[in-house]
Chains A and B, each alone.
Chain A
Amino acid sequence: MDVGVAVFPGANCDRDVGWALAGCLGWRVTFLWHQDATLPRKLDALVLPGGFSYGDYLRCGAIAGSAPLLGAVADFAAMGGPVLGICNGFQVLTEAGLLPGGLIRNRGLHFVCRDQRLQVASRHSPWLHHFAPGDALTLPIAHGEGCYHIDPPGLRQLEDHDQIALRYLDNPNGSVGHIAGVSNKAGNILGLMPHPERACDQATGGTDGQALLRGLERWTDLS
């Protein structure tokens, strides 16, 4: 796999994602600078990492959502390229209009940092197609603004188009419908609040994240 990882100022998980993809999965990783409006070559997938892009100024992900690199991400996604947004990367994708809904302050106001039990709600994405609906995963979460918000008609659309990818088993942040991750209608863009890159090695508390990330390999073989 040849994967691009976006680098935004303040997004501190880009190196973690690089370590997980290159060190644990053995993939080729290229870091993509936020000011670049084009991709260096044809890549297999793009990852927007977690952190606090542009200091979370204005709204989480708002400024990164209009960065030059996002134009290239949108073009890549429009051609069917797989795009994964993790935590702040999920926020960036919603701000860029590539995923529906938005993320707001956790209902309990606390920054929540813990291992989180999740349930696969849809197989409709390259990262989840190899699971069965209802499969349970445990992935770390670490966010203050992870409460997923969408209005009732939007929620119905998500359900109708099988776009709810992951749900929390015990909702940590007040997200509507216990939603932890959503995909676009086509399924090639996935955003999720949990951090799969932090669960890729038994030494750091589990490998469910590796199982999720590896989905891309099988999906690429199939397509």
Chain B
Amino acid sequence: MPRFHATVRVGLRPSVLDPAGEAVCAAAQRLGHGAIQSIRIGKAIEIRLEAPDAATARQQLEALSAQLLANPVMETWSLELHNREV
């Protein structure tokens, strides 16, 4: 069975306050990085899986992201399916 590698990125919806991101942004500005306008913190989830083809892998990962990895009430997610591994 072919193996795939994917990254799911999960972040707070733009309308949701990210106090951790704001704290990091304030620290960045304090350190002299005055050009930094905003920082939002999310997470990147690295996944390896087996699937017969890329379309099936994508379908499984999309279902998992919507069901468990992100909570649509306050988060959005995006999926990056990388190279098929040999």
- A residues contacting B by CB (< 8 A) are 58-59, 62, 66, 94-95, 100-102, 104-109, 147, 149-151, 174
B74 engages A149 (CB within 8 Å):
yes
B68 engages A66 (CB within 8 Å):
yes
B19 engages A106 (CB within 8 Å):
yes
B71 engages A59 (CB within 8 Å):
yes
Find residues 24-69 in chain B having any chain A CB closer than 8 Å to their own CB. Answer: 67-69
Interchain Cβ contacts within 8 Å, total number: 38
Which residues from A are CB-within-8-Å of B75? 59
A108 engages B68 (CB within 8 Å):
no
- How many angstroms between the C-alpha atoms of A95 and B15 in the bound complex? 19
Which residues from A are CB-within-8-Å of B74? 102, 104, 149
A150 engages B73 (CB within 8 Å):
yes
Contact with A along B65-84 (1 / 0, CB 8 A): 00111010111000000000
B17 engages A174 (CB within 8 Å):
yes
Which residues from B are CB-within-8-Å of A108? 19
Interface size on B, residues (CB 8 A): 15
Could you say which of A101, A102, A104 has the most chain B C-beta atoms within 10 Å of its C-beta? Answer: A104
A-B contact pairs, 7 of them (CB 8 A): A62-B68, A66-B67, A104-B16, A106-B19, A150-B73, A151-B15, A174-B17
B22 nearest in chain A by CB position:
A109
Nearest CB in chain B: distance from A99 CB, A = 10
A58 engages B20 (CB within 8 Å):
no
- How many angstroms between the C-alpha atoms of A8 and B28 in the bound complex? 39
Which residues from B are CB-within-8-Å of A58? 68-69
A105 nearest in chain B by CB position:
B19
- How many angstroms between the C-alpha atoms of A192 and B68 in the bound complex? 23
- How many angstroms between the C-alpha atoms of A106 and B34 in the bound complex? 26
B43 nearest in chain A by CB position:
A58
Which residues from B are CB-within-8-Å of A109? 19-20, 23
B12 within 8 A of A: yes
A107 nearest in chain B by CB position:
B19
Could you say which of B12, B15, B20, B71 has the most chain A C-beta atoms within 10 Å of its C-beta? Answer: B71
The 4 closest A-B pairs by CB, nearest first: A102-B73, A102-B74, A109-B19, A149-B74
- How many angstroms between the C-alpha atoms of A163 and B79 in the bound complex? 35
Which residues from B are CB-within-8-Å of A106? 19
- How many angstroms between the C-alpha atoms of A5 and B69 in the bound complex? 27
